[in-house]
Amino acid sequence: MELRNLRCLVELARAGGFSAAARALHVTQSTVSKSIRQLEDDCGVPLVDRRGLLRLTDAGEIVLRHANTMLSEQEHLTAELAALRGLQRGQLKLGLPVLASSVLFAESVAEFRKRYPGIEVQLQEHGSRLLEELVRKGEFEIGATLQPIHEDFEWQPIREEPLVALLSLEHPLSGRSSLRLAELADTPTILFEDGILLNSVITAAYRRRKMTLIDAGRSGNTDFIIAMVTAGLGVAFLPRIIVASRDHRSLRAVEVEDKDMWWKMALIWRRGRALSPAARRWLEMVEAPSRPKAT
């Protein structure tokens, strides 16, 4: 079972077709087809259902899962050898959150690339729920998510911030410097789209207080959520560090006093898996600062 054939299967599953996989791998379509058939001969079972819309068989899904692991381990080997040359070559696959990446990680990514120009940084943004799954599959070496952390992962804390309630200027509590979540029981709530784990922090806090969450709408765009608050559609919650980086003169940002309304960001990697030298250097660079004090 050759790694180049496994790589073809991984790319075929990702691209969804032989021609697209061939383009991504910079080979001919017949080369991809031949590699898949060799892999099927090695496994003794069909891996790809070629009838109609292309899809992997159940056996193909199993081989794909192991292929991701095997190719990832090959990358680790290459990275370990590169470490002997002072990180002159290698690869770092990072999955960062949609929310707060610009505030937390932009400078670190720029500094990492400056220090290690030979390391290829593959960076994508997704919701934390998807990032967890992609780290499990080996598509990212390091991802970001909110605490508490699933036992599948080892992790490093990055930042803890209290949540701030964003209120329109007309809201009766907009003149306050702080408030309790229970005081917002009758105010509709604007949430992020599915996949953003901040939603879970908020909804869990409502459940603990036996409060009914009045869903006023959802979006994956922070600016649109702020616009909805400004228009008086409801309250939204954001980490204080994000609110501090934006112009919010058109609304009021009121700190939430409840201790369970905190945003706790961490970087995760698969438990039991040795990190590449590039990943270890990245974690050193973004080592968590002390927890911010309430103001």
Partnered with residue 97 across adjacent β-strands are: 126
Which residue is associated with the tokens 């960001």?
Answer: 265
Residue 201 pLDDT = 94
Which stretches of the chain score pLDDT less than 50?
A: 290-295
Residue 289 pLDDT = 54
Integer Cα distance of 120 and 272 in angstroms: 24
CATH architecture classification, 1-69: Orthogonal Bundle (1.10)
Q: Which residues contact 279 (CB under 8 A, 6 or more apart)?
A: 92, 141, 142, 269
Angle between helix axes 58-83 and 29-43 (nearest 10 degrees) is 110
Q: Which two tokens stand for residue 24?
A: 């991504």
Residue length, the chain?
Answer: 295
Kindly report, residue by residue over 52-66, the tens digit of the pLDDT.
788 899 999 999 999
Q: Which two tokens stand for residue 216?
A: 């006023």
For residue 77, the SS3 value is helix
* Same fold for the pair 1-69 and 162-261: no
Residue 123 pLDDT = 92
Partnered with residue 144 across adjacent β-strands are: 267
Q: Which helix (H) or strand (E) holds 236?
A: strand 236-239
Q: Are the beta carbons of 196 and 101 closer than 8 angstroms?
A: no
Reported in sequence order, the residue ranges of 41-186 that DSSP labels E, i.e. its strands, are 48-49, 55-56, 90-97, 119-126, 143-146, 153-168, 178-179
Q: In one letter, which amino acid is 145?
A: T
Integer Cα distance of 95 and 97 in angstroms: 7
Residue 88 pLDDT = 74
CB count in 10 Å sphere of residue 8: 26
Residue 98 pLDDT = 87
What is the topology classification, in CATH, of domain 162-261?
Answer: D-Maltodextrin-Binding Protein; domain 2 (3.40.190)
Integer Cα distance of 215 and 165 in angstroms: 15
Q: Give CA angle at 87 (83, 90), nearest 5°.
A: 95
Residue 277 pLDDT = 86
CB count in 10 Å sphere of residue 98: 19
Residue 132 pLDDT = 94
Strands 215-219 and 189-192: parallel
Strands 215-219 and 251-256: unpaired
Residue 87 pLDDT = 77
Domain residue ranges of the chain, discontinuous segments joined by + = 1-69, 162-261
Q: Which pTM was predicted? A: 0.69
